[in-house]
Amino acid sequence: MRRLLALTGALTAVGLGGNFGPPAQPALRGDLQIHDPTILKVAGRYLAMGTGFENVDGGTLRIKTSQGGVSWSDAGTLGSAQPAWVAKQLGTQPPNLWAPTLSQRGGKVFLYYAASLFGKNTSAIGLATNAHLDPLKAADGWTDQGVVLTSRRSDPFNAIDPFRIDTRDGRAWLAFGSYWDGIKLRELDPGSGKLSARNPRLYSLASRGGGAIEAASLLEHGGFFYLFVSFDRCCAGLDSTYRMMVGRSKQITGPYIDHEGVPMMQGGGSQLQATLRRFIGPGGQEVYRDAEADWLAYHFYDGDSGGTPQLQTARLGWDAAGWPVLGALPR
């Protein structure tokens, strides 16, 4: 059995010999019902978006806001209808939009999201932009930029769960994927947010040979790129077995290996957090930056409330070998 990077709520980086152990994960409160969260800090306020509720408000993306990142309030949805191109692209209207990701470059906010049907790879990733995002009016000011990337039944990949990373060399990349051949990567044009015409290559980052892997998120830290993913069963409430895994590479395009040196393209991945107490099936994670520190936003299924998906955040710590660890879960 591979040695785990962290046993949830039990180990910290100090215990592993490092000097940068994370604090305990905060006890969040307020309206926390969200799935596949993304968080962006804008004008001193935290904005979160997540997967839409099926057949509610058009299935559009859900919005939460917070002044300090601990107490959260519901802020409705991003409109009440999906963009017209979605049904045309998929051949049908999906019950909801999935797994948004927020990022900012040069004052412009980029919002990527997925449109798909559960268990199918006839999927698309769309983009909306906002040049002057007001976190108190988070549903306003968005411009639909249409489709970025698609997958069809004949493709060996699935165009869902997007994540954009702007790297220190000025380039931008989009990670995505679920099941099938696993996690993929395409280079973006940083300004438009669409796929780069100069680099059409599709990179493969991680795979479980058709097994459950999704929710890719990338972080550049300490000379490495870290790839966070979710393994196993999502979206099953109390029966969910989601767990958060990680690997790293010297290059954003890979190869990524886990703590024991197993390539992520061969099913490798070091466990960061799994089910513990009421925190069932943690996953759908995404890295975000706050106060010069790196944080992870994720959802779990609350064992104390019938498996309702809930938001949780955790500041990343680092062990002596440069691997990420999470602090203890709140009670």
pLDDT tens for each residue of 99-116: 999 999 999 999 999 999
Alpha carbons 4 and 11: distance in angstroms, whole number: 10
H or E element that contains 294: strand 293-302
- 292 is an active site residue: no
Q: How many domains does the chain have?
A: 1
CATH number, domain containing residue 228: 2.115.10.20
In the β-sheet with 324-326, what is the strand arrangement from edge to edge? Answer: 279-290, 293-302, 308-318, 324-326
Name residue 105's beta-bridge partners. 108
Answer yes or no: is 16 within a domain.
no
Is pLDDT above 80 for 18? no
Q: Which amino acid is at 38?
A: T
Are the beta carbons of 127 and 115 closer than 8 angstroms? no
Please provide the average confidence, as pLDDT, over all residues in the chain: 93
- Asked if residue 4 has pLDDT above 70, the reply is no
Catalytic residue of the set 36, 187, 232, 319: 36
Q: Is residue 69 part of a domain?
A: yes
Q: Which of 187, 214, 286, 319 is catalytic?
A: 214
Beta strands 29-30 and 97-105: pairing type?
A: unpaired
Q: Give the percent of the chain with pLDDT over 70.
A: 94
102 within a domain of the structure (yes/no): yes
141-181 pLDDT per residue, tens: 999 999 999 999 999 999 999 999 999 999 999 999 999 99
239: how many CB neighbours lie within 10 A of its CB? 11
d(CA 31, CA 75) in angstroms, rounded, equals: 10
The verdict on whether 302 is a catalytic residue reads no
| Within a domain: 255 | yes
Asked whether residue 38 is assigned to any structural domain, the reply reads yes
Which one has a higher pLDDT value, 7 or 262?
262
Q: Give strand pairing partners of 83.
A: none
- Which residue type, as a one-letter code, is found at position 294? D
- Tens-digit pLDDT profile for residues 254-312: 999 999 999 999 999 999 999 999 999 999 999 999 988 999 999 999 999 999 999 99
What is the pLDDT at residue 21? 72
Q: Report yes or no on 8 lying in a domain.
A: no
Please check whether residue 24 lies inside any domain of the structure. no
Look at residue 252 and tell me if it is in a domain.
yes
Domain of 315 in residue numbering reads as: 29-326
> pLDDT tens, 205-260?
999 999 999 999 999 999 999 999 999 999 999 999 999 999 999 999 999 999 99
